[in-house]
Amino acid sequence: MTPAVKMAEDAGVDFRLHRYQHDPGAESYGLEAAELLDLDPRRVFKTLLAVVDDQPQVAMVPVHLSLDLKALAKAAGGKKAQMADADLAQRVTGYVLGGISPLGQKRRLPLWLDQSALSFDTLYMSAGRRGLEIEMAAVDLLALTAGQCAVLAR
């Protein structure tokens, strides 16, 4: 059980786990999950770590799109945003790249979810390990993480 799954269980929210055989050679972890689980990529979200004015922030966007760093900086009330390097992302979240979940991170960071997630009953995201996705309602994700929605994808 990953910290993400434990957090969802402890909170008592409705969720489902989906497993797939991860290919270490896959170019995109998120697109691989969408393809192998036969999901609409608009419903599968990647969890990214960015730094806004020296403060780590978690941003989630659909796997087929990119994070608009200017939009994230604006949403977070900052001036400049940049992607965190892999070492920082893994150190502050406690997860490996391709398995970073917005749930159960080592320390709670501000979370920003692309507003498009609200147009679906549920969304899919990493459950804390490559090859494992967790499905839940966006409102539950936001409640568990004290997250906020913004237009972040381009």
At 27 the pLDDT is: 83
At 62 the pLDDT is: 97
Which pTM was predicted? Answer: 0.94
- For the chain, domains (ranges, CATH) are 3-150 (3.90.960.10)
DSSP state at residue 77: T
At 68 the pLDDT is: 97
**Per-residue pLDDT of the chain in tens (154 residues, 90 and over written 9):** 899 999 999 999 999 999 999 888 888 888 999 999 999 999 999 999 999 999 999 999 999 999 999 999 999 999 999 999 999 999 999 999 889 999 999 989 999 999 999 999 999 999 999 999 999 999 999 999 999 999 999 9
Give the rounded distance of the alpha carbon of 94 from its chain centre. 14
